[in-house]
Amino acid sequence: MEIIQHYFSWQFKLFSRSIRHFGLPPVVGYALLALVVMVLPAVLWPQKTYFPWLYLAAGVLAMNPFRSDGRNEFLKICYSKREFLLLRTVENLLLVLPFSLVLLIRRQFLLALGLLIIAFFRGITANWNRKRMNLPALPTPFSKRPFEFAIGFRVSFPLILFLYYVVLMAVIHDNFNLGIVATYVVFITCMVYYCQMEPEYYVWLHDAQPKQFLFQKLKTAAIYAFSLVVVPIVALSVFFPKYIGFLVLAVLMGLLNLTVVILLRYTEFPKPFHIGDVMLLAACVICPIYPPLALLPIPLTFYLFGKAKKNLNNYL
């Protein structure tokens, strides 16, 4: 019991520190988490058959940040095998407990139980060697100009395939809105590729002026992102020709948002994104829904380009 108490008080300190680095007081951070994870879903539970499954998936994904090989290897050094498995299992159960409680409140008893079982299973198998020793590298069409798209695609290709499937369903069921949303989500996925800050050495390596460096990054991102959406765009254009204007707008908004995230990254470089940046990106992503805000990314792009160029002078 002492080990559990010590471990979780240490994890609480680390997590509170992360929230503080993100730019929020820990109390506010925890309150926001509770709001997003528990209160809002419990109150605004959409009456869709798939939503409980999505919520279960969110609960499973919540455990992922704590499963990294580096973290587990470190814990295995600090604790015995038995202690390590106990701690990881309790940790997983605590992480999914809020999700399970909401599922219970919403009378999804089997899913609530299933989530706890998944958490338990992941905990007791935390010792399994997950290194990809024998898995060949997934080939990507993005290896010529690494690295954000090459790596991001490998992480997200199941999602990309799923989004292509959603577009196919949109065509079959004559639902343009579903198709355009799925296409837009592909762009949002591409934005996520640029959310992790790269090491200073990776920027320093470039034999380029800041302006050149930024243009190269933007050009690569635009070409690769477009290559990912070209299939859904063509499909939607063929089956919904009267909405081509909306498709063009969606592509433009997607590319604009991608530009914003890349420029924001190098404005903040080498520091990671903080809460203000996340809110700004969220505003850009949802702005197409609110027409007055739809033009927000345009002046933002010019502003951020100047700041990013100035910041990169220190490295290039």
The binding site for other proteins (CB under 8 A) comprises 69, 131-133, 135-137, 143-147, 150-151, 154-155, 199-202, 204-208, 314-315
Residue 193 structure tokens:
């590729």
Q: Residue by residue, what is the 3-state secondary structure of 161-189? A: HHHHHHHHHHHHCCCHHHHHHHHHHHHHH
How far is the C-alpha of 41 from the C-alpha of 55, rounded, in Å?
8
206 and 164 Cβ atoms separated by less than 8 Å: no
Taking the CA atoms of 21, 22, 24 and 29 in sequence, report the sign of the dihedral they define. negative
86 and 5 Cβ atoms separated by less than 8 Å: no
Q: Position 158: which residue type?
A: P
Please report where in the chains the tokens 């709001």 appear, as a residue.
35
Residue 183 structure tokens:
């296409």
Residue 33 structure tokens:
């988490």
268 and 247 Cβ atoms separated by less than 8 Å: no
Q: Position 296: which residue type?
A: L
Residue 87 structure tokens:
């701690």
Q: Where does residue 145 rank: exposed (0-12), middle (13-18), buried (19+ CB within 10 A)?
A: middle
How far is the C-alpha of 256 from the C-alpha of 277, rounded, in Å?
16
Helix H or strand E encompassing 85: helix 81-105
Instruction: Judge if the upstream peptide bond of residue 141 is cis by omega within 30 degrees of 0.
Output: no
How far is the C-alpha of 251 from the C-alpha of 215, rounded, in Å?
19
